[in-house]
C-alpha cells in the first residue's frame, strides 16, 4: 500500500472514531488536533516527508480561509414554502405508487423468483398414455389367404388388399384368426407461443411413425430400441379480430364432429379459416363457418398427379338455457384426384422384358391408392393396364368421394357436475355412382354402401380433471364401405377403416388431478363381403383397451 493511501485510511478511521459531542466547537477542535497528530505520526514514521506535510497544512489553511470569506459575504435569501393541502399530497402519493407498481409489474423487478416476461407468452402442454390392448377374432372369420386376388383384370376387386398380402416367403401378413395382446405407449408434447395479440405459433411432437397418420401409438416390445418422435404439428395462427381465425401449416383438426370421417389423431396440412360472426355479446346463438384447402400430394408430372381435400362447414352453438347447450355442423368435403383410373395399354410395353416394362416406371403408379395410405374397407380395383400380365396388382379407389356430413351434440347439464351428452353424426358420399364406377373401372359393383352414421351417449363429467371425476359412455357405429375415405377414419373400431358396424362401451375414472383410467370395448363386424369374391366372407374383431392417462 503506498503512503497516500495509508494517509487517507488513517484520516478516515480517525473521523469515523470521533465521538459525537454536544459542543460543536469542541468537536471541530478535536478533529483539528487529531489530524495534526496523525500527520506528525506519519512524518516521524517516515511515511510522509516533512516538506509534503507542511504543504498539506498550508493548502488546508488557504482553502479553509477562502470558505469562511465566501460564507460570510453571502446574504441569506428568503425561502418561500407554498402550502400544499393534505388531500393533494395523498393524491400525489397514490399516483406515484400506482406508477411504480405498474412499472414493477411490467418489468418484473419487484417479484420474488421472477422469470422473463416472454415466458408468459409460451404455453406447454402434453400427455402420456399407457395402454394394454387385446384383439379377439371370432370363429368364422375368413382366413387371410382367401383375401388374395393376385391376377389383374380377372375379378380383381377387394376391400382389404393388405389382409391378403404375402411376404417374400408367400406367407400372408394379415391376421384374421389369431388373438393378439400388446402394450402400447403414446407420448405428446406441444408448445403454443403467443407472438403478439394477433399472431401465435404451435409445435407438437408425438410418438408414432411417418406411415400411420391416424395413430400416434408405439407398441412396446422392440428389443428395447428407442422410439421416434415425429413432428405432429407445426403451424402459424393469425387472429386479426375476435370473429376471424386463420391457421396454416400442419394444423389441428379444424372441423367439428365425431370420428366417422376424421380420426381423433388426424392433423391437417394446408390452410383453414374460421369465421365467428358476433351478433351480440350475450346472444344465445353463435354461428360459425370454417373453410379449408389441404394438399394430400403435390403434382409431380409424370410421376404423380396432385391430390387435394377441400372442405367447408357451417354450424353454430346454441345456449338453450338451464345449463343446456346444442352444437351442430353441416360439412361438405371434396377429395380431388384420389380416385383410380385404368392405365392405358399403350403405356405398358413389353411385360416379358423387365427393362422395357412400364410397371417399373414411377408414372405407372400415379393412380395408386397406396398401402401406406389406406386402412381397409373402401372398394378397390386393379388399375393395371389390360396388357399387364404381372402378378403385382396396383390398387386404386373405385369410387370418388364427396361426403356431406351432419354432426350434432346436445349437452344437458341440469344436474351439474353430472351431464348427459347425446351426440350423433351422419355422412353420405354424394359422389358414389355405380354407373360412373363401371365406366371408369370396367367393373360392375353390385354391393357396397355410401352412407355412415354413429350415435353416442355419455353420462358423467364433460371433462375429467379432478380426483373422483367419472364418465360412462356407449354407442353404435355403422360405416359403409364407400361412405368415407378409409385412410382417415377411426383406427380403433374394427382396427380401422370402413365397411364395419357394431357397438362400443366404456368408462373413465379420475384417480388424481389430470390423471384418469379408461377402459372400453369395441365390437365390429363387416357389412359387405371384404373380398368381393364370396358374399359369405366376413371379418370381425373385438378390441378391449385399458388405459392410464396423465395430462400436463
DSSP string, 344-376: PGGG---TT-GGG-GGGSGGGGTT---TTT--S
pLDDT tens-place string over residues 314-348 = 999 999 988 899 999 999 999 999 999 988 766 65
Q: 117-146: per-residue pLDDT in tens?
A: 667 789 999 999 999 999 999 999 999 988
pLDDT at 16: 47
- From residue 207, how far is each of 125, 149, 266, 268 by CA, in Å? 15, 35, 13, 17
**pLDDT of 392 strictly over 50:** yes
Which residue do the cell numbers 357451417 mark?
314
The pLDDT of residue 80: 59
In angstroms, the CA 29 to CA 25 distance is 6
Which of 103-107, 249-253, 518-522 comes out lowest in average pLDDT?
A: 103-107
Q: What's the pLDDT tens digit per position in 425-442? A: 999 999 999 999 999 998
Q: What is the pTM of this model?
A: 0.77
Average pLDDT, the chain: 85
Lowest mean pLDDT: which of 140-154, 341-355, 532-546?
341-355
**Pick from 150, 172, 158: nearest CA to 388:** 150
C-alpha dihedral sign at 50, 56, 59, 63: negative
Q: Which helix (H) or strand (E) holds 279?
A: none
Give residue-wise pLDDT tens across range 240-264: 999 999 999 999 999 999 999 999 9
Among the residue ranges 99-113, 180-194, 398-412, 521-535, the one predicted with the least confidence is: 99-113
Q: Are 385 and 348 in contact (CB under 8 A)?
A: yes
255-301 per-position pLDDT tens digit: 999 999 999 999 999 999 999 998 887 889 999 999 999 999 987 76
Q: Comparing 430 with 97, which gets the higher pLDDT?
A: 430
pLDDT at residue 110, as a whole number: 55
Amino acid at each position: 500500500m503506498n503512503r497516500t493511501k495509508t494517509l487517507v485510511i488513517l484520516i478516515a478511521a480517525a473521523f469515523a472514531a470521533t465521538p459525537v459531542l454536544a459542543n460543536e466547537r469542541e468537536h471541530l477542535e478535536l478533529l483539528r488536533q487529531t489530524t495534526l497528530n496523525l500527520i506528525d505520526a506519519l512524518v516521524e514514521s517516515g511515511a510522509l516527508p516533512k516538506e509534503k506535510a507542511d504543504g498539506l497544512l498550508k493548502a488546508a489553511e488557504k482553502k479553509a480561509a477562502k470558505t469562511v470569506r465566501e460564507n460570510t459575504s453571502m446574504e441569506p435569501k428568503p425561502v418561500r414554502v407554498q402550502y400544499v393541502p393534505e388531500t393533494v399530497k395523498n393524491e400525489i402519493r397514490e399516483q406515484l405508487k400506482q406508477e411504480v407498481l405498474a412499472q414493477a409489474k411490467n418489468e418484473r423487478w419487484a417479484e420474488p423468483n421472477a422469470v422473463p416476461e416472454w415466458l408468459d407468452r409460451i404455453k406447454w402442454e402434453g400427455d402420456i398414455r399407457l395402454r394394454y390392448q387385446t384383439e379377439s377374432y371370432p370363429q368364422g372369420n375368413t382366413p387371410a389367404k382367401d383375401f388374395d386376388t393376385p391376377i389383374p383384370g380377372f375379378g380383381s376387386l377387394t376391400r382389404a388388399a393388405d389382409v391378403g398380402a404375402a411376404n417374400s416367403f408367400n406367407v400372408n401378413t394379415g391376421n384374421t384368426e389369431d388373438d393378439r395382446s400388446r402394450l402400447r405407449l403414446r407420448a405428446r408434447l406441444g408448445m403454443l407461443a403467443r407472438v403478439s395479440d394477433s399472431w401465435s405459433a404451435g409445435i407438437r411432437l408425438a410418438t408414432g411413425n411417418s406411415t400411420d397418420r391416424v395413430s400416434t401409438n408405439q407398441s412396446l416390445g422392440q428389443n428395447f430400441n428407442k422410439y421416434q418422435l415425429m413432428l405432429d404439428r407445426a403451424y402459424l395462427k393469425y387472429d386479426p379480430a375476435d370473429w376471424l381465425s386463420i391457421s396454416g401449416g400442419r394444423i389441428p383438426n379444424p372441423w367439428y364432429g365425431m370420428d366417422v370421417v376424421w380420426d381423433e389423431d388426424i392433423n391437417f396440412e394446408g390452410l383453414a379459416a374460421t369465421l365467428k360472426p358476433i351478433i351480440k355479446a350475450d346472444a344465445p346463438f353463435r354461428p360459425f363457418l370454417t373453410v379449408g384447402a389441404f394438399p394430400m400430394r403435390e403434382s409431380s408430372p409424370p410421376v404423380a398427379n396432385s391430390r387435394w381435400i377441400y372442405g367447408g362447414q357451417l354450424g353454430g352453438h346454441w345456449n338453450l338455457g338451464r345449463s343446456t347447450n346444442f352444437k351442430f355442423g353441416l360439412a361438405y368435403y371434396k377429395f380431388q384426384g384420389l380416385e383410380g383410373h385404368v392405365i392405358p395399354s399403350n403405356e405398358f410395353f413389353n411385360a416379358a422384358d423387365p427393362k422395357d416394362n412400364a410397371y417399373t416406371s414411377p408414372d405407372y403408379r400415379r393412380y395408386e391408392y397406396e398401402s401406406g395410405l389406406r386402412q381397409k374397407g373402401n372398394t378397390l380395383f386393379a388399375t393395371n393396364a389390360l396388357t399387364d400380365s404381372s402378378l403385382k396388382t396396383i390398387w386404386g379407389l373405385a369410387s370418388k368421394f364427396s361426403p356431406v356430413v351432419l354432426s350434432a351434440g346436445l349437452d344437458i347439464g341440469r344436474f351439474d357436475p353430472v351431464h348427459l351428452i347425446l351426440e350423433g353424426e351422419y355422412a353420405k358420399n354424394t359422389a358414389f355412382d355405380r354407373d360412373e364406377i363401371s365406366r371408369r373401372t370396367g367393373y360392375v359393383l353390385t354391393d357396397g354402401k355410401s352412407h355412415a352414421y354413429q350415435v353416442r351417449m355419455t353420462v358423467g363429467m364433460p371433462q375429467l380433471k379432478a380426483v373422483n371425476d367419472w364418465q360412462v359412455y356407449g354407442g353404435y357405429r355403422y360405416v359403409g364401405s364407400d361412405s368415407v375415405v378409409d385412410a382417415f377414419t377411426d383406427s380403433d373400431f374394427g382396427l380401422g377403416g370402413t365397411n364395419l358396424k357394431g357397438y362400443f362401451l366404456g368408462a373413465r375414472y379420475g384417480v388424481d388431478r389430470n390423471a384418469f383410467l379408461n377402459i372400453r370395448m369395441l365390437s365390429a363386424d363387416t357389412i359387405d363381403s371384404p373380398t368381393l369374391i364370396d358374399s359369405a366372407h366376413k371379418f370381425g374383431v373385438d378390441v378391449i383397451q385399458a388405459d392410464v392417462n396423465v395430462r400436463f
